[in-house]
């Protein structure tokens, strides 16, 4: 995602459209890693403009990846998602606590409690159908989508105080938490994926997070 992220972040950080684009990227990544791929997600990716943007960011699923019959492709991706992120057996845990808990990190560690408190304090509400852990990668991407959307709305109504507040939350969450574990999650996913779909999109997520970390560190909330 380096190319796309850089094109977004090169803009004025206070410009609402740029923040909306950041929010859209977070939303897309949430939809990729939250659950197995849906027909709607594949439809979105197959839109010419969207595929062109992904290609410009260096994402390539291969020439014939989307030539498979749709139902067959969905089934293959469902199997891959379960094998990668659910198990049984050795899999790529999609939970922050596994990476931040040191040797033998387990679910519901201190980082899970921190995330639950942090996002609740920021006013984030879970999807009605969600009954999982708050430090799942999909939830954390959704939270950042929520915060960047709020920031964009604040910028559109020229509310500098609310905009800066959102930016402070984003910077703290990324620097103190998300950027500390997401790269390793992406690395493991890229190593284990057998289909290009999750391998390429994990690379996309890793590149976007690098750019976000640099961007948020370089443009403090007071500059909004």
Q: Given this model, what pLDDT does residue 104 score?
A: 57
* Minimum mean pLDDT range among 12-16, 99-103, 111-115, 133-137: 12-16
Confidence grade of residue 102 (pLDDT, cut at 50, 70, 90): low
Per-residue pLDDT of 127-169, as tens digits, reads 777 778 999 999 999 999 999 999 999 999 999 999 999 999 9
Spatial CA neighbour of 209 closest among 154, 165, 144? 144
- Produce one character per residue of 42-74: b if its CB has 16 or more CB atoms within 10 Å, e if not: eeebeeeeeeebbeebebebeeeeeeeeeeebb
Q: Given this model, what pLDDT does residue 7 score?
A: 39
**Distance of alpha carbon 205 from alpha carbon 50, whole angstroms:** 16
Average pLDDT over residues 181-208: 97
- In the chain, the N- to C-terminal Cα span, in Å, equals 24
Confidence grade of residue 3 (pLDDT, cut at 50, 70, 90): very low
Give the count of domains, the chain. Answer: 1
Give Cα separations from 59 to 1, 55, 63, 87, 182 (angstroms): 7, 5, 12, 26, 18
Q: Given this model, what pLDDT does residue 9 score?
A: 38
Average pLDDT over residues 180-190: 97
In the block, residue with structure tokens 């897309």: 28
Q: Given this model, what pLDDT does residue 199 score?
A: 97
Which domain does 59 fall in, by range? 2-223
**Distance of alpha carbon 80 from alpha carbon 36, whole angstroms:** 8
CB 4 within 8 A of CB 56: yes
Confidence grade of residue 5 (pLDDT, cut at 50, 70, 90): very low
Give Cα separations from 208 to 1, 54, 132, 186 (angstroms): 5, 12, 25, 11
Mean confidence (pLDDT) of the chain:
88
Q: Given this model, what pLDDT does residue 146 score?
A: 94
| Both tokens assigned to 66 | 């989307």
Q: Given this model, what pLDDT does residue 198 score?
A: 97
Confidence grade of residue 174 (pLDDT, cut at 50, 70, 90): very high
Confidence grade of residue 4 (pLDDT, cut at 50, 70, 90): very low
CATH number of 154's domain:
1.10.3480.10
Per-residue pLDDT of 60-71, as tens digits, reads 998 888 888 999
Strand partners, 136: 95
């Amino acid at each position: 995602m380096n190319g796309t992220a850089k094109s977004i972040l090169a803009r004025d950080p206070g410009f609402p459209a740029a923040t909306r684009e950041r929010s859209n990227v977070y939303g897309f990544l949430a939809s990729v890693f939250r659950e197995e791929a849906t027909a709607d997600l594949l439809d979105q990716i197959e839109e010419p403009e969207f595929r062109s943007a992904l290609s410009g960011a260096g994402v390539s699923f291969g020439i014939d990846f989307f030539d498979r019959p749709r139902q067959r492709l969905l089934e293959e991706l469902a199997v891959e998602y379960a094998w990668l992120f659910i198990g049984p057996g050795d899999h790529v845990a999609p939970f922050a606590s596994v990476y931040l808990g040191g040797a033998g990190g387990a679910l519901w560690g201190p980082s899970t409690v921190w995330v639950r408190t942090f996002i609740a304090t920021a006013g984030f509400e879970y999807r009605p159908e969600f009954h999982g852990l708050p430090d799942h990668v999909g939830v954390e991407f959704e939270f950042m989508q929520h915060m960047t959307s709020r920031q964009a709305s604040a910028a559109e109504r020229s509310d500098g105080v609310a905009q800066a507040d959102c930016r402070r939350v984003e910077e703290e969450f990324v620097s103190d938490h998300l950027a500390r574990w997401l790269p390793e999650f992406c690395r493991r996913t890229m190593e284990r994926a057998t289909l290009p779909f999750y391998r390429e999109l994990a690379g996309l997520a890793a590149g976007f997070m690098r750019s976000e970390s640099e961007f948020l560190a370089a443009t403090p909330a007071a500059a909004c």
